[in-house]
Amino acid sequence: MVDPTSTTGPEATGANGAQGAKTHFTKAMEEAMAGAHALAGECKDKFSQTKDELGGEAKTRSDDARDKASAFAEDAKVRASEYAVEGKARTSAAIISLSKVIDDNTATIDDKVGVKYGDYARTASQSMKDAATKLDEKSFEELGEDARTFVRESPGLAVGMAVAAGYVLGKLFTRAK
């Protein structure tokens, strides 16, 4: 027996067949869209999870780098302080040794140029010894504050000294080449 609702044969291409194909196509599209939405949701979840993992790893590495940089900075401060103390001691010793050279030569200055100039040399030598003693006694914080005070009180002289020091250093380095 033949099923009267069967869509096989010449009637299948009629209005009922077109409607059935349309319904079938619509269902297939809905299923495809539902699958795409589900896939998009899974991808979004995986992306969010991966993003969180990478964010955590980046935070950890950033913290590690910050810790290492802080340790390096502290080490640099300690070393710089040690070198500064050593430099201050060497500078003081150099000033004292120059003062001794001047003291040793004051008799020659007295004989060749005159006692008046020998007294100038002795005064200069004593001033250098006093400056070396002050340098030894003061901390770097006190020396820095003294420098700031000097610059505030006489900025023109400070700029002039900086220019002169720069000129001398420039001449020293250009001769070295």
Sign of CA dihedral 128, 134, 139, 144: negative
Quick one: pLDDT band at residue 177, thresholds 50, 70, 90?
low
Instruction: Calculate the alpha carbon distances from 97 to 89, 92, 126, 129, 136 in Å.
Output: 12, 9, 12, 9, 14
- Are the C-beta atoms of 96 and 134 separated by less than 8 Å? no
pTM, full prediction = 0.52
* Per-residue pLDDT reduced to its tens digit, 30-72: 888 888 888 888 888 888 888 788 888 888 888 889 999 999 9
Query: Mean pLDDT in the chain?
Result: 84
Whole-angstrom Cα distance, residue 65 to residue 1? 84
CA separation, residue 86 to residues 29, 59, 117, 144 (Å): 83, 40, 35, 17
Q: What is the pLDDT at residue 176? A: 57
Instruction: Write the pLDDT tens digit of every residue in 63-122.
Output: 889 999 999 999 998 998 888 888 888 989 998 999 999 899 888 988 888 889 889 989
